[in-house]
Amino acid sequence: MEQKQAQQQKPSTARRQTRAGHAIPGAWATVLQQMLDRLSAQPYLWALLRRIVEHGFRGERQVIARELAPWRDPGRRMFLDLGCGTGEFAPCFPAGHYVGIDLSPAYLRFAQRSQLRQFVAASGAALVLADRRFDAALVLGVLHHLTDPVARATLVELHRVLRPGATLLVMEDIPPPDRWNIAGHAMHWLDRGGNIRDDVAYRTLFHPEFTVIRAYTMRSGICDYGVYVLRRNDE
């Protein structure tokens, strides 16, 4: 996803293999990763690439509208977008009732130039936000960039800033289930996150702060995501 929280693990330079079974020599792996790193350092270009391969993020926008319904009661709920990157999903939420968090100053500057929303530079593991401020939160393509200890600390912080009974919507990259989705396999292989987990690992990660209400998969363009709708557990 967009340039997200820290603690990323770079792919090995050894020969790697896509889920479709194609081996990729280490030299090419290094070159491709360096190209991706340079591209992701340019907010406009990175946002444009993701918009193209994910068909305008229609899949994510539909999930946000369905699960969080931000416009159901405008002005009555506060929303947190953790790992907001370039602010791609800020327009999904009412202005004045949205806060975007990201570690990258360059991405936040880009977001502030294009969106009339509040953006804050902070780590998910140390949110500079008041307790129980938000009614719902979006975490899209973030956790697979984080090691288990950092991801756990981030979920503890989310629990702190969310109100009792609040909804947490998590969408995370997963390997394409369709073996013939070659472009999707390539994009998944190039993804800069080093901690992609399976369903059991994610459910374990969420406990005990959150309860999974429902979980499913969806495709956005060539990219596949695991979707988790969580409820904040009371203390």
* Cβ(3)–Cβ(36) below 8 Å: no
Burial of 106-123, coded b for 16+ CB within 10 Å and e otherwise, reads ebbebbeebbebebeebb
Whether 29 is covered by a domain: the verdict is: yes
- The pLDDT mean for the chain works out to 83
Whether 1 is covered by a domain: the verdict is: no
* pLDDT of the residue at 30: 66
* pLDDT of the residue at 188: 64
Instruction: List the strands of the sheet with 223-232, edge to edge.
Output: 118-121, 98-102, 79-82, 134-140, 162-173, 223-232, 210-220
| Domain that residue 177 falls in | 16-232
* Cβ(205)–Cβ(43) below 8 Å: no
Q: Is 36 exposed, middle or buried (0-12, 13-18, 19+ CB in 10 A)?
A: middle
Alpha carbon 204 to its chain's center? 18
Instruction: Note the pTM of the prediction, 2 decimals.
Output: 0.81
Three-state DSSP at 118 gives strand
Whether 201 is covered by a domain: the verdict is: yes
Question: Which residues on adjacent β-strands are paired with residue 210?
Answer: 232
- The answer to whether the peptide bond before residue 208 is cis (omega within 30 degrees of 0) is yes
Q: Which amino acid makes up residue 148?
A: D
Whether 3 is covered by a domain: the verdict is: no
Whether 8 is covered by a domain: the verdict is: no
Confidence of residue 19 (pLDDT cuts 50, 70, 90): very low
Tell me the HSE value of 232 on the side-chain side, using a 13 A CA sphere: 23
Whether 9 is covered by a domain: the verdict is: no
Tell me the HSE value of 27 on the side-chain side, using a 13 A CA sphere: 0
Would you say residue 50 has pLDDT above 70? Answer: yes
Report the CATH number that the domain containing residue 142 is assigned in CATH.
3.40.50.150
* Cβ(33)–Cβ(11) below 8 Å: yes
Number of compact structural domains in the chain: 1
129-173 pLDDT, tens digit each: 999 999 999 999 999 999 999 999 999 999 999 999 999 999 998
Distance CA 175, CA 181 (A): 10
As a whole-number percent, the residues of the chain with pLDDT over 70 amount to 75
Give phi and psi for 142, each to the nearest 5: -110, -50
